[in-house]
Amino acid sequence: MKRLLVVLGAVCLIVLLLGAMHDLAPASVELHAAVAANLTASGVEHPVTAVLLNFRGYDTLLEIAVLLLALIVILAIGREEASNAEATVDVRLLVSPVLQTLAKLATPLMIMVAFYLLWAGSFRPGGAFQAGAVLAAAAVLLHLAELLPSWQSPGARLRLGLAGGFLIFLAVGAGSLMQGALLEYPLEQAGALILLIESGLTISLGLILAGLFLLLSRDDGETS
């Protein structure tokens, strides 16, 4: 009966959402035209990067903060569970040497792809989120091949890497706020500032996304 009620509730919610979307009025502003008209002032050549890092950069800043907060919560919960655990069991799978060799060969290529996505983000699809996801995938691959241990308690350098991108983004935002408006870059410096932000976010996002996996997969008896 409970499952039936949950299913009926979900169906009702979907119907309400579809009805609300159907009744939405047409957009009062043509966003494509507005982005194209101001693209030259954004500091980049690709509209998606311009929107994410310039026109609505504050939204992207908050997204990074949410991801970082999620990792902090997982780390805090993990510490509490570890302190309350009475015994731990270290279970290790036998990993094929072939998998480890392939992981060692694939990781440098994935790092190259990540930096290419970072570089290409200013003028074609790519950017910090895509590059960070590729870096995180490389770390997960190394962990699954037992070439990278899970995280127990991140040290000072790792914590700096996790928060560095957000801090750089916040510092640039604070500097622009002193000039007039939040994340409103000077025209002649917009491209360099966006590249600085994306470079920091690539490292931090890679570490955050990898950490969400490496912290959840850790063994309490394993050292980091």
Using CA of residue 101, residue 103, residue 108, residue 110, what is the dihedral sign?
A: positive
What percent of the chain clears pLDDT 90, i.e. is strictly above it? 36
Please report whether residue 5 resides in a domain: no
pLDDT of residue 96: 82
Q: For 63-115, how does the pLDDT look when each residue is reduced to its tens digit (9 = 90+)?
A: 999 999 988 888 887 655 555 544 444 445 567 888 899 999 999 999 999 99
Please report whether residue 107 resides in a domain: yes
pLDDT of residue 125: 81
Please report whether residue 118 resides in a domain: yes
Cβ burial of 47 (10 Å; 0-12, 13-18, 19+) is: middle
Q: For 174-205, how does the pLDDT look when each residue is reduced to its tens digit (9 = 90+)?
A: 888 887 777 788 888 888 899 999 999 999 99
Please report whether residue 54 resides in a domain: yes
Three-state DSSP at 94 gives: coil
pLDDT of residue 101: 93
What percent of the chain clears pLDDT 70, i.e. is strictly above it? 88
The per-residue DSSP string of 125-158 comes to S--HHHHHHHHHHHHHHHHHTTSSPPPSS--HHH
Please report whether residue 47 resides in a domain: yes
What domain count does the chain have?
A: 1
Its domain, for residue 194, covers 43-78+97-216
Please report whether residue 102 resides in a domain: yes
Q: What is the mean pLDDT of the chain?
A: 84
124 vs 118, which has greater pLDDT?
A: 118
Question: In the predicted model, is pLDDT for residue 61 greater than 70?
Answer: yes
Please report whether residue 190 resides in a domain: yes
pLDDT of residue 88: 45
Name the pLDDT band for 130 (thresholds 50, 70, 90): very high
